[in-house]
Amino acid sequence: MKTSMKSIGYLFVCLGFVACTTTSGYSEKTESKLNDANIAAIVVGANKIDISAAQIALGKSINGEIKEFAQRMATDHQAVLDSAVKLVTRLGVTPQNNDLVHALGKQSMEHEAKLKTLSGGAFDKVYIDHEVAYHEAVIGVIKDQLIPNATNGELKDMLVSVVPAFEAHLAHSKMVQGKI
């Protein structure tokens, strides 16, 4: 539980630090103000991360509620990902990684590595706790960072339209969390 909370705390740090001032540590230094290419990379990355975690859950969990939820995440986030890729391709926006994408990727790898060491109820608990925290954090980033910074109208509309999906997933994850 302690480790789980630490992991969730780190997730919030990862998703939150984009709001800070200029950051360094990567070759392509980015500023707190995100451009459309950064936003596209974050949307693509955020969906891929949740699909990947769902696939692990589908392979490891034997709990019906967890498997049903994981299947929903895999299906819905793939649909959002496909839609986002289609849009940015049409707009001619090439996703450009930034510090947030790198941090998300690193945190995701650590979370997945941990999931792979767990089984049974312990696996289910860590998976669903992380899903609740992840969706809460991503909703915050979309609303507070991505939507205000998007300059292309269609990209902004797409971001606005995916918020209800993440909110429905958050509500769903909390329902499942209450049963685990």
Partner 1 sequence: MGEYSPRIEKRWAEYAKFILMLCSLSVVSCVNSDVKKNLDRQPQVHEVEIKKFRFKPATLIIHTGDSVRWVNRDIVPHRVADSRRKKWESHDMGPKDAFSQTIRVSTSYVCLLHPSMKANIVILKD
Give the shortest CB-46-to-partner 1 separation in angstroms.
16
Residue 175 found at the interface with partner 1 (CB under 8 A)? yes
Select from 22, 75, 89, 151 the one that contacts partner 1 (CB under 8 A): 75
**Whole-angstrom distance between the N-terminal and C-terminal Cα of the chain?**
14
**Distance in angstroms (rounded) separating the CA atoms of residues 127 and 63:** 12
Q: Measuring CA to CA, how many Å separate 35 from each of 4, 14, 94, 129, 151?
A: 32, 18, 11, 31, 8
Give the shortest CB-43-to-partner 1 separation in angstroms.
13
Residue 168 found at the interface with partner 1 (CB under 8 A)? yes
Q: Are 38 and 46 in contact (CB under 8 A)?
A: no
Give the shortest CB-178-to-partner 1 separation in angstroms.
12
Q: Is 33 helix (H, G, I), strand (E, B) or coil?
A: coil
Q: What number of CA atoms fall less than 13 Å from residue 87's CA on the CB side?
A: 22
Q: Sign of torsion, CA 27 12 147 145?
A: negative
Please, which residue, 65 or 112, has the CB nearer to partner 1? Answer: 65
Give the shortest CB-108-to-partner 1 separation in angstroms.
22
Select from 36, 76, 124, 129 the one that contacts partner 1 (CB under 8 A): 76
Select from 13, 19, 79, 122 the one that contacts partner 1 (CB under 8 A): 79
Q: Are 80 and 162 in contact (CB under 8 A)?
A: yes
Residue 72 found at the interface with partner 1 (CB under 8 A)? yes
Q: Give the residues lining the site for partner 1 (CB under 8 A).
A: 72, 75-76, 79-80, 83, 161, 164-165, 167-169, 171-172, 175
